[in-house]
C-alpha cells in the first residue's frame, strides 16, 4: 500500500484526494508528461480553485480523475473519491461514480450538448439514468432543475434545442445536467471562459450559491484569478504539470510565495487599482487635436439584422480609444466597417479628410498602409502555408513592390526584433509558435508599414493572463514610439483602462456612453456602463464574493428584434415608461462626455467611482 | 524549441519538395511511374515488332518469348509487349494531360467563384451545373463528328471538359470556407489585391485536397478513355490504349488470359502508384505534417 497522508484521512475524509497523480501521453515523438506528481485534496463543502495557463495540465488532471483521458493517455498514482480509488475502477463502476458522485461542467456548452435533442429531454434522460423514475417525473425534475439554475422561462426552454439558447443559458443547462445526479463533487472546467463578463458573473454567482446550498464540494478550473477570488476557498496553482503553490485563497492571492504565482497576480489587471492611460500622458487630452478618423452615422445591416446603428465618433491623431460591450454588440463589425472590410449600409468613414467609401479601389488599397488591424485569433489570422517571414513581409510586397528581397528580409527581421521575437523565427510556420508569439507576428505584420491607425480587435482575449499583459505592454510601447492612433476593441474593461484615453460603450449596436477613461471608470453615467463595471471580477477575495452576490440577471435581447425606445431598458434597473417610447438622445454632458439615457440626470452620481464599483 | 531553426530558406514549394523526398513510399511510387513511362517510351524500339505489325504465324501466342513475342500476341498476331507499352504511352499522356487541363481550369474557376461570391459565384456555378447535366457522351460525340474521330486532341478536349467540373465544385467549397478565415481578412486589410489573395493565400491552402483529387482523376481518366474506346469513340485501332487492350482482353479471358492480364497488370501498378503519390502529396503540402 502506498502511504496516504494519514492525518488528513483520519480527521475528515476528503471528498477528493489526489496523491502523486501523474498523467502521461504516448505520442509518436515519445512520452509526454502532462501532469507530474499532483497531490491535493478537496474537503466537504469546499471549493478548490485550480489555476494555471493553458497547457499547464489542469484539465488533464481532472479528466484523469474522471477516467476521461484520451486513448493514448495514462494516469499513475492515486485519486480517491470518498475513499474509493478511481484510477483502478472498472468502467461500469466508474460510470456510476461519474454523474452520481461527480458532476462535470465543461468550457464549451455548445459542443457538450447534443444538437438535435431538446434540452429538457437531455436533462430528463440523465435523470432517468441515475434514478428509476417515470418519464413524466423525470420531466418534472428537469423543470425544477432548470428553475434552480435560474433559466428564464424554463417551460419554453425545455422544448428548445441547444442552438436556440444563448451561451449563458446553455451553460446553465450544463450545470443542471451536472446537478441531476445530485453529485457530491462538481468539477467545473473553465465554465465561464467563453462567456461575457456580465454572464460570467451570473454563472459564477450561481455556482457559489449552489455550493453553499447543497454543501457540495467543487473544483473550479480556470485561468482567471478574478473568478477564483469570488468563489474559491482554497487555490492550487499549476505550472507545467506541477503544483507550485496551494493555500487559502486570501493567502495565495494577497501574499503569493511562489514567483510564478506572483507573476500571475501581478499581471492580472485590476479594475480598482488600474493605472489610466490618460494619466501616463498628462495634458495630451486637454489640447485640441485634429480628428484623424471620423465616423458619421455609421450603420451596418445584415439582412434584417442591424449590427451597428448610427455610430458617430471622432478619433484624434495619436489618441487611443477603447470600444467595449458584450459579444454581439457590434464592436467587431464597427471596426471592420471603419476599415471598409465590410461595406457600411449607410454613414460615412472619413480618414484624414478623405471619405473612404467614395475612394476608388486602387486608392483605398494604397491608403490601407495607414490603417492596420490586429485580429482576435492569433493563429487563425496567419496563413498556415506561409512562414513567419513571408507573413510579416507581405505588406511590403504589396506597398513597396520595388523593394529587393534582401531589403525586405532585413526590414522583416527588424520588425520581428521590435515586437520581441527572435529573427530566426522568420523561417518558422505559425503552428510552430505559441499563441503569444503568433499575436506578436500579427502585430509585426500590422506595424511594418508604420501605420497611423492601428485597430486591435480583441487582440488578447485568446491568450493567457501573463501573455495578455505582455502584449498590452508591447502595444502601449509601440503606440508611444510611433504616435499612431489606437482603436482597441475588447470586452476586458480592466485592460481597456490601461491602454485607452477614451472609451465607447456599445450595446446592441448602439452607443451608450463615450467618456474619457478616468471619468468612465470612476463615475459611470449610463446604467449599462455601471452594470458592465460591476460585473468585472476583481482578484481580491475580500471584496469579490460580495460583488458576485450582486450580479444582475439578464442577457442582451436578440438583435433581430431590439426593444423599442432605449434598447437597454429590458435589463435596466432604472427603466421608466419613457424609455420604451422614445430613443434617448446622444446627449453631451457639461464635462464633454456623452450619454444616451433618458434618466442620467436623476441617477445617483458617484463622486468616487470605486464607490459605485465596490459598494452598492 | 526542440531544434534550432535551420538556416536553410523555407517556402511552401521547397518544403513540400523536401517532405516528399523524405517519404519513402512516395519516392517509390514516383520512381515506378517514371520507370513505366520511360520503359513505355524507349523499350518498344528494342522489339523487332511494331504496334500494328501482324505476325500470321503466331496468332494468340502465350507469353514465353518465342519469335521475340516476349509477352505473347493477340488474336491478330500483334505483339502484346509492344502494344501494351504503346497503350501505356497513350493512356498516360491522355490522362495526365487531361487531369492537368481539368485541374487548372477547375481550380481557377472554382477559386474565383468562391472568392467572388454573390452573383458572380451564382452564374459561374450554374454554368457548371448546366454542363454537368448535359450527357457528356453527347459532347464527346459532337466533338468527334466535328473533328477527326479518335484524334488525341479531341479526346483530350472531351476528357478535360468533363473533368474540371468536379474539381471546380470541390475547389469552390474549399474557397468558400477559406474566404471567411481571419488570415484572408488580414490580407485584405493589408491591401493585397484580389488576384494575389487568390494565388498566394487561397490556392496554396486548398492544394491539399485538390492534389489528392487530381491523383485520383488520373486513373479515372484512364478508365473513362477506355470506356470511350469501347463505344468506338476513343483511341481507334490499330492504335492501342490500356483501356481498349483490357476490353479486348476481357473478351478472350477464358482462352487467352494473358491478353487481359498483361495490360491489366500495368494499369493496376500505375493506379496504385498514383494513389500513393496523391496521399504523399497531401502530406507534403501541409506544413503541420511532420
Higher pLDDT, A3 or B96: B96
Could B190 and A382 be called an inter-chain contact, meaning their C-beta atoms sit closer than 8 Å? no
Q: Which residues of B106-122 are buried (b: 16+ CB within 10 A; e: fewer)?
A: bbbbbbbbbbbeeeebe
SS3 A513: strand
CA–CA distances in Å: residue A554 to residues A109, A152, A166, A339 = 18, 9, 11, 33
Query: Tens digit of pLDDT for each residue in A284-304?
Result: 444 557 789 999 999 999 888
Sign of CA dihedral A393, A398, A404, A405: positive
For A238-242, B47-51, B180-184, which range has the lowest pLDDT when averaged over its residues? B47-51
Full 3-state SS string of A327-375: CCCCHHHHHHHHCCCCCCCEEEEEECCEEHHHCCHHHHHHHCCCEEEEC
Could B182 and A375 be called an inter-chain contact, meaning their C-beta atoms sit closer than 8 Å? yes
- For B241, list phi and psi in degrees, rounded to 5: -135, 165
CA–CA distances in Å: residue B130 to residues B38, B104, B162, B169 = 40, 20, 12, 13
Could A383 and B6 be called an inter-chain contact, meaning their C-beta atoms sit closer than 8 Å? no
Higher pLDDT, A403 or B10: A403
pLDDT over threshold 60, residue B212: yes
- The CATH number of the domain where A52 resides is what? 3.40.50.300
- Beta bridge partners, A42, equal A16
Residue ending a domain, among A217, A235, A267, is A267
Chain B contacts of A462, Cβ < 8 Å?
A: none
pLDDT over threshold 80, residue B64: no
pLDDT of residue B213: 82
Compute the distance between CA of residue A587 and CA of residue A595 in angstroms, rounded to an integer: 5
Compute the distance between CA of residue A198 and CA of residue A413 in angstroms, rounded to an integer: 42
Higher pLDDT, A131 or A176: A176
Could B190 and A368 be called an inter-chain contact, meaning their C-beta atoms sit closer than 8 Å? yes
Compute the distance between CA of residue A549 and CA of residue A188 in angstroms, rounded to an integer: 19
Residue ending a domain, among A207, A242, A267, is A267
Query: Tens digit of pLDDT for each residue in A239-256?
Result: 989 999 999 999 999 999
Assigned domain for A107 exists: no
Other CB atoms within a 10 A radius of the CB of residue B130 amount to 9
Domain count within chain A: 2
Instruction: Verify that A187 and A293 share a domain, yes or no.
Output: no
Could A376 and B182 be called an inter-chain contact, meaning their C-beta atoms sit closer than 8 Å? yes
Residue of chain B nearest A390, judged by CA positions: B11
pLDDT of residue A11: 52
Length reported for chain B: 290
Task: Please give the model's pTM, rounded to 2 decimal places.
Answer: 0.82
**Of all residues in chain A, what percent carry a pLDDT higher than 70?**
93
Give, as one character, the DSSP assignment of residue A131.
S
Residue of chain A nearest B8, judged by CA positions: A427
pLDDT of residue A526: 92
pLDDT over threshold 50, residue B286: yes
SS3 B86: helix
Candidates A499, A482, A481; CA nearest to A490 is: A499
pLDDT of residue A275: 56
pLDDT of residue B44: 78
Other CB atoms within a 10 A radius of the CB of residue B227 amount to 15
A398 to chain B, any CB pair closer than 8 A? The answer is: yes
Residue A139 has which C-alpha cell? 420531466
Could B189 and A339 be called an inter-chain contact, meaning their C-beta atoms sit closer than 8 Å? yes
Supply the DSSP string of A198-234, one letter for each residue.
HHHHHHHHHHHHHHHHHT-EEEEEES-HHHHHHH-SE
Chain B contacts of A442, Cβ < 8 Å?
A: 186
pLDDT of residue B281: 82
Work out the average pLDDT over A391-403.
93
pLDDT of residue A39: 94
Query: Tens digit of pLDDT for each residue in A461-489?
Result: 888 888 888 899 999 999 999 989 999 99
CB A288 within 8 A of CB A276: no
pLDDT over threshold 70, residue A7: no
pLDDT over threshold 70, residue B3: no
Assigned domain for A592 exists: yes
Asked if this assembly's ipTM is beyond 0.85, the reply is: no
Q: Which of A369, A377, A425 sits opposite B182 (nearest CB)?
A: A377
Assigned domain for A420 exists: no
pLDDT of residue B8: 44
For A380-394, B201-215, B218-232, which range has the lowest pLDDT when averaged over its residues? B218-232
Supply the DSSP string of A154-173, one letter for each residue.
HHHHHTS-GGGS-HHHHHHH
Instruction: Verify that A217 and A343 share a domain, yes or no.
Output: no
Assigned domain for A432 exists: no
Work out the minimum CA distance from A486 to partner chain B, whole angstroms. 16
Could B182 and A380 be called an inter-chain contact, meaning their C-beta atoms sit closer than 8 Å? yes
Work out the average pLDDT over A515-537.
89
CA torsion A517-A522-A527-A532 (nearest 10°) is 70
Could A380 and B183 be called an inter-chain contact, meaning their C-beta atoms sit closer than 8 Å? yes
Assigned domain for A205 exists: yes
Q: Which of B181, B196, B285 sits opposite A380 (nearest CB)?
A: B181
**Of all residues in chain A, what percent carry a pLDDT higher than 90?**
50
Assigned domain for A407 exists: no
Work out the minimum CA distance from B125 to partner chain A, whole angstroms. 23
- Which long-range contacts (C-beta less than 8 Å, at least 24 apart) are formed by A200-203? A200/A227, A200/A535, A200/A537, A201/A534, A201/A535, A201/A537, A201/A547, A201/A548, A201/A551, A202/A150, A202/A168, A202/A551, A202/A552, A202/A553, A203/A168, A203/A171, A203/A172, A203/A175
Work out the minimum CA distance from B128 to partner chain A, whole angstroms. 28
Work out the minimum CA distance from B204 to partner chain A, whole angstroms. 7
Higher pLDDT, A595 or A194: A595
Q: Which of B11, B191, B193 sits opposite A369 (nearest CB)?
A: B191
Residue of chain A nearest B203, judged by CA positions: A385
Candidates A392, A297, A303, A280; CA nearest to A349 is: A297
pLDDT over threshold 50, residue A336: yes
Residue of chain B nearest A383, judged by CA positions: B183
Could B205 and A384 be called an inter-chain contact, meaning their C-beta atoms sit closer than 8 Å? yes
Could A384 and B192 be called an inter-chain contact, meaning their C-beta atoms sit closer than 8 Å? no
Instruction: Verify that A359 and A223 share a domain, yes or no.
Output: no
**Of all residues in chain B, what percent carry a pLDDT higher than 90?**
19
Compute the distance between CA of residue B281 and CA of residue B243 in angstroms, rounded to an integer: 27
Q: Which of A385, A408, A415, A446 to mutate to test the interface with B (most CBs of B within 10 A)?
A: A385
Could B182 and A381 be called an inter-chain contact, meaning their C-beta atoms sit closer than 8 Å? yes
CA torsion A594-A597-A601-A606 (nearest 10°) is -70
pLDDT of residue A130: 83
**Of all residues in chain B, what percent carry a pLDDT higher than 70?**
93
pLDDT over threshold 50, residue A6: no
- Beta bridge partners, A313, equal A295
pLDDT of residue B231: 75
Q: Which of A383, A394, A400 to mutate to test the interface with B (most CBs of B within 10 A)?
A: A383
Assigned domain for A86 exists: yes
Could A385 and B205 be called an inter-chain contact, meaning their C-beta atoms sit closer than 8 Å? yes
Instruction: Verify that A609 and A490 share a domain, yes or no.
Output: yes
pLDDT of residue B209: 77
Which secondary-structure segment (H or E) carries B277? Answer: helix B258-284
Residue position matching grid coordinates 476490353: B247
Instruction: Verify that A90 and A224 share a domain, yes or no.
Output: yes
Candidates B156, B152, B144, B147; CA nearest to B100 is: B156
Instruction: Verify that A257 and A341 share a domain, yes or no.
Output: no
Could B185 and A381 be called an inter-chain contact, meaning their C-beta atoms sit closer than 8 Å? yes
CA–CA distances in Å: residue B84 to residues B34, B45, B79, B217, B240 = 16, 13, 9, 21, 7
Chain B contacts of A372, Cβ < 8 Å?
A: 189-190
Residue of chain A nearest B2, judged by CA positions: A432
Residue A95: band (very low, low, confident or very high) from pLDDT cuts 50, 70, 90: confident
Give, as one character, the DSSP assignment of residue A55.
T
Q: Which of B190, B196, B287 sits opposite A385 (nearest CB)?
A: B287
pLDDT of residue B220: 81
pLDDT over threshold 50, residue B115: yes
Instruction: Verify that A88 and A217 share a domain, yes or no.
Output: yes
How many A×B Cβ pairs under 8 Å? 80
Residue A280: band (very low, low, confident or very high) from pLDDT cuts 50, 70, 90: very low
Work out the minimum CA distance from B184 to partner chain A, whole angstroms. 8
pLDDT of residue A288: 58
A428 to chain B, any CB pair closer than 8 A? The answer is: yes
Chain A contacts of B10, Cβ < 8 Å?
A: 387, 427
Residue A610: band (very low, low, confident or very high) from pLDDT cuts 50, 70, 90: very low
Residue position matching grid coordinates 500590422: A446
Compute the distance between CA of residue A201 and CA of residue A222 in angstroms, rounded to an integer: 14
Could A428 and B5 be called an inter-chain contact, meaning their C-beta atoms sit closer than 8 Å? yes
Could A431 and B287 be called an inter-chain contact, meaning their C-beta atoms sit closer than 8 Å? yes
Chain A contacts of B6, Cβ < 8 Å?
A: 427
Could A365 and B196 be called an inter-chain contact, meaning their C-beta atoms sit closer than 8 Å? no
Q: Can you identify the CATH homologous superfamily of domain B12-41+72-284?
A: MetI-like (1.10.3720.10)
Instruction: Verify that A86 and A227 share a domain, yes or no.
Output: yes
Interface of B with A (CB under 8 A): 4-12, 181-183, 185-193, 196, 200-201, 204-205, 285, 287-288
Higher pLDDT, B222 or B260: B260
Residue A445: band (very low, low, confident or very high) from pLDDT cuts 50, 70, 90: very high
Residue of chain A nearest B287, judged by CA positions: A385
Residue position matching grid coordinates 496553482: A237
Query: Tens digit of pLDDT for each residue in B82-95?
Result: 888 988 988 888 88
Residue ending a domain, among A238, A267, A296, is A267
Instruction: Verify that A220 and A364 share a domain, yes or no.
Output: no
Work out the average pLDDT over A435-458.
93
Q: Which residues contact A302 (CB under 8 A, 6 or more apart)?
A: none
Residue of chain A nearest B183, judged by CA positions: A381
Query: Tens digit of pLDDT for each residue in B143-162?
Result: 777 877 667 788 888 788 77
Beta-strand ranges (E) seen in A399-556 are 453-457, 485-489, 502-507, 510-516
CA–CA distances in Å: residue B157 to residues A102, A183, A567, B144, B222 = 66, 69, 62, 10, 14
pLDDT over threshold 90, residue A592: no
Q: Which of B186, B191, B196 sits opposite A381 (nearest CB)?
A: B186
Work out the minimum CA distance from B54 to partner chain A, whole angstroms. 56
Residue B289: band (very low, low, confident or very high) from pLDDT cuts 50, 70, 90: low
CA A571 remoteness from chain centre: 21
A424 to chain B, any CB pair closer than 8 A? The answer is: yes
Domain ranges of chain B: 12-41+72-284
Query: Tens digit of pLDDT for each residue in A199-225?
Result: 889 999 999 999 999 889 999 999 889
Instruction: Verify that A572 and A476 share a domain, yes or no.
Output: yes
Other CB atoms within a 10 A radius of the CB of residue B56 amount to 7
A370 to chain B, any CB pair closer than 8 A? The answer is: no
Query: Tens digit of pLDDT for each residue in B68-83?
Result: 777 878 778 788 888 8
- Which long-range contacts (C-beta less than 8 Å, at least 24 apart) are formed by A299-303? A299/A344, A299/A345, A299/A346, A299/A347, A300/A330, A300/A333, A300/A334, A300/A337, A300/A342, A300/A344, A300/A345, A300/A509, A301/A345
Q: Can you give the residue range of the structural domain that contains A554?
A: 277-370+451-614
Chain A contacts of B181, Cβ < 8 Å?
A: 380
Work out the minimum CA distance from A269 to partner chain B, whole angstroms. 27
Instruction: Verify that A284 and A226 share a domain, yes or no.
Output: no
Residue A278: band (very low, low, confident or very high) from pLDDT cuts 50, 70, 90: very low
Assigned domain for A114 exists: no
Residue of chain B nearest A342, judged by CA positions: B185
Work out the minimum CA distance from A427 to partner chain B, whole angstroms. 6
pLDDT over threshold 50, residue A31: yes
pLDDT of residue B10: 60
Higher pLDDT, B282 or A338: A338
Work out the minimum CA distance from B20 to partner chain A, whole angstroms. 16
Work out the average pLDDT over A272-281.
53
Amino acid at each position: 500500500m502506498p502511504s496516504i497522508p494519514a492525518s488528513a484521512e483520519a480527521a475528515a475524509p476528503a471528498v477528493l484526494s489526489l496523491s502523486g497523480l501523474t498523467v502521461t501521453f504516448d505520442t509518436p515523438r515519445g512520452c509526454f508528461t502532462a501532469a507530474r506528481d499532483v497531490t491535493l485534496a478537496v474537503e466537504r463543502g469546499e471549493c478548490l480553485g485550480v489555476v494555471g495557463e493553458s497547457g499547464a495540465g489542469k484539465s488533464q488532471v481532472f479528466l484523469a480523475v474522471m477516467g476521461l483521458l484520451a486513448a493514448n493517455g495514462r494516469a499513475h498514482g492515486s485519486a480517491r473519491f470518498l475513499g474509493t480509488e478511481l484510477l483502478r475502477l472498472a468502467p461500469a463502476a466508474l460510470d456510476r461514480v461519474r454523474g452520481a458522485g461527480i458532476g462535470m461542467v465543461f468550457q464549451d456548452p455548445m459542443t457538450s450538448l447534443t444538437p438535435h435533442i431538446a434540452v429538457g429531454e437531455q436533462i430528463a434522460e440523465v435523470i432517468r439514468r441515475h434514478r428509476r423514475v417515470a418519464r413524466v417525473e423525470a420531466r418534472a425534475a428537469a423543470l425544477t432543475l432548470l428553475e434552480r439554475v435560474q433559466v428564464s422561462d424554463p417551460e419554453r426552454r425545455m422544448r428548445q434545442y441547444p442552438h436556440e439558447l444563448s451561451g449563458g443559458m446553455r451553460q446553465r443547462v450544463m450545470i443542471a445536467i451536472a446537478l441531476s445526479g445530485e453529485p457530491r463533487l462538481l468539477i467545473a472546467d473553465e465554465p465561464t471562459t467563453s462567456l461575457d463578463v456580465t454572464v460570467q458573473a451570473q454563472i459564477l454567482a450561481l455556482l457559489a450559491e449552489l455550493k453553499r446550498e447543497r454543501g457540495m464540494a467543487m473544483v473550479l478550473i480556470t485561468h482567471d484569478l478574478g473568478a477564483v477570488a469570488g468563489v474559491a476557498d482554497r487555490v492550487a496553482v499549476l505550472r507545467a504539470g506541477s503544483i507550485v503553490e496551494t493555500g487559502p485563497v486570501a493567502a495565495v492571492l494577497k501574499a503569493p510565495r511562489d514567483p510564478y504565482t506572483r507573476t500571475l497576480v501581478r499581471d492580472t489587471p485590476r479594475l480598482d487599482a488600474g493605472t489610466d492611460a490618460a494619466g501616463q500622458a498628462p495634458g495630451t487630452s486637454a489640447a485640441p487635436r485634429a480628428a484623424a478618423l471620423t465616423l458619421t452615422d455609421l450603420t451596418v445591416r445584415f439582412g434584417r439584422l442591424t449590427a451597428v446603428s448610427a455610430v458617430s465618433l471622432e478619433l484624434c491623431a495619436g489618441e487611443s480609444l477603447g470600444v467595449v460591450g458584450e459579444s454581439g454588440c457590434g464592436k467587431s463589425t464597427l471596426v471592420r466597417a471603419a476599415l471598409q472590410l465590410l461595406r457600411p449600409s449607410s454613414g460615412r468613414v472619413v480618414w484624414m479628410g478623405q471619405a473612404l467609401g467614395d475612394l476608388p479601389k486602387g486608392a483605398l488599397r494604397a491608403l490601407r498602409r495607414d490603417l492596420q488591424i490586429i485580429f482576435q485569433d492569433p493563429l487563425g489570422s496567419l496563413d498556415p502555408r506561409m512562414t513567419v517571414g513571408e507573413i510579416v513581409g507581405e505588406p511590403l510586397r504589396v506597398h513597396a513592390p520595388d523593394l529587393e528581397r534582401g531589403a525586405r528580409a532585413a526590414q522583416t527581421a527588424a520588425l520581428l526584433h521590435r515586437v520581441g521575437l527572435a529573427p530566426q523565427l522568420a523561417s518558422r510556420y505559425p503552428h510552430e509558435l505559441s499563441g503569444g508569439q503568433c499575436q506578436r507576428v500579427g502585430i509585426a505584420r500590422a506595424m511594418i508599414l508604420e501605420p497611423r491607425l492601428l485597430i486591435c480587435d480583441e487582440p488578447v482575449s485568446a491568450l493567457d493572463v501573463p501573455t495578455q499583459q505582455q502584449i498590452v505592454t508591447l502595444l502601449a510601447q509601440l503606440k508611444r514610439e510611433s504616435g499612431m492612433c489606437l482603436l482597441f476593441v475588447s470586452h476586458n474593461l480592466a485592460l481597456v483602462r490601461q491602454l485607452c484615453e477614451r472609451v465607447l460603450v456599445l450595446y446592441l449596436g448602439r452607443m451608450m456612453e463615450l467618456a474619457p477613461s478616468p471619468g468612465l471608470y470612476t463615475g459611470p453615467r449610463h446604467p449599462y456602463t455601471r452594470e458592465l463595471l460591476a460585473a468585472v471580477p476583481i482578484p481580491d477575495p475580500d471584496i469579490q464574493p460580495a460583488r458576485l452576490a450582486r450580479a444582475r440577471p439578464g442577457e442582451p435581447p436578440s438583435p433581430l428584434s431590439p426593444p423599442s425606445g432605449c434598447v437597454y431598458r429590458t435589463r435596466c434597473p432604472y427603466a421608466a415608461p419613457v424609455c420604451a417610447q422614445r430613443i434617448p438622445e446622444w446627449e453631451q454632458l457639461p464635462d464633454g462626455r456623452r450619454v444616451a439615457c433618458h434618466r442620467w440626470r436623476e441617477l445617483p452620481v458617484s463622486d468616487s467611482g470605486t464607490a459605485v464599483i465596490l459598494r452598492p | 524549441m526542440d531544434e534550432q531553426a535551420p538556416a536553410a530558406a523555407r517556402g511552401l514549394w521547397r518544403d513540400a519538395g523536401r517532405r516528399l523526398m523524405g517519404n519513402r513510399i512516395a519516392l517509390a511510387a514516383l520512381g515506378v511511374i517514371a520507370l513505366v513511362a520511360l520503359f513505355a517510351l524507349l523499350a518498344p524500339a528494342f522489339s523487332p515488332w511494331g504496334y500494328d505489325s501482324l505476325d500470321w504465324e503466331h496468332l494468340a501466342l502465350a507469353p514465353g518469348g518465342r519469335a521475340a513475342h516476349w509477352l505473347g500476341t493477340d488474336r491478330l498476331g500483334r505483339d502484346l509487349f509492344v502494344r501494351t507499352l504503346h497503350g501505356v504511352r497513350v493512356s498516360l499522356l491522355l490522362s495526365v494531360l487531361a487531369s492537368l487541363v481539368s485541374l487548372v481550369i477547375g481550380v481557377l474557376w472554382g477559386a474565383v467563384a468562391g472568392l467572388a461570391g454573390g452573383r458572380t459565384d451564382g452564374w459561374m456555378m450554374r454554368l457548371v451545373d448546366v454542363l454537368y447535366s448535359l450527357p457528356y457522351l453527347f459532347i464527346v460525340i459532337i466533338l468527334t463528328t466535328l473533328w477527326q474521330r479518335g484524334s488525341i486532341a479531341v479526346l483530350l478536349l472531351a476528357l478535360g471538359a468533363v473533368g474540371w467540373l468536379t474539381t471546380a465544385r470541390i475547389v469552390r467549397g474549399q474557397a468558400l470556407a477559406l474566404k471567411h478565415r481571419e488570415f484572408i481578412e488580414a490580407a485584405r486589410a493589408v491591401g493585397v489585391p484580389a488576384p494575389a489573395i487568390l494565388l498566394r493565400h487561397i490556392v496554396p491552402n486548398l492544394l491539399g485536397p485538390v492534389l489528392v483529387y487530381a491523383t485520383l482523376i488520373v486513373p479515372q481518366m484512364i478508365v473513362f478513355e477506355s470506356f470511350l474506346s469501347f463505344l468506338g469513340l476513343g483511341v481507334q485501332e490499330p492504335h492501342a490504349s490500356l483501356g481498349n487492350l483490357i476490353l479486348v482482353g476481357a473478351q478472350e479471358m477464358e482462352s487467352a488470359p494473358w491478353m487481359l492480364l498483361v495490360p491489366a497488370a500495368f494499369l493496376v501498378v500505375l493506379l496504385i502508384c498514383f494513389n500513393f503519390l496523391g496521399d504523399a502529396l497531401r502530406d507534403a503540402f501541409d506544413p503541420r505534417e511532420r
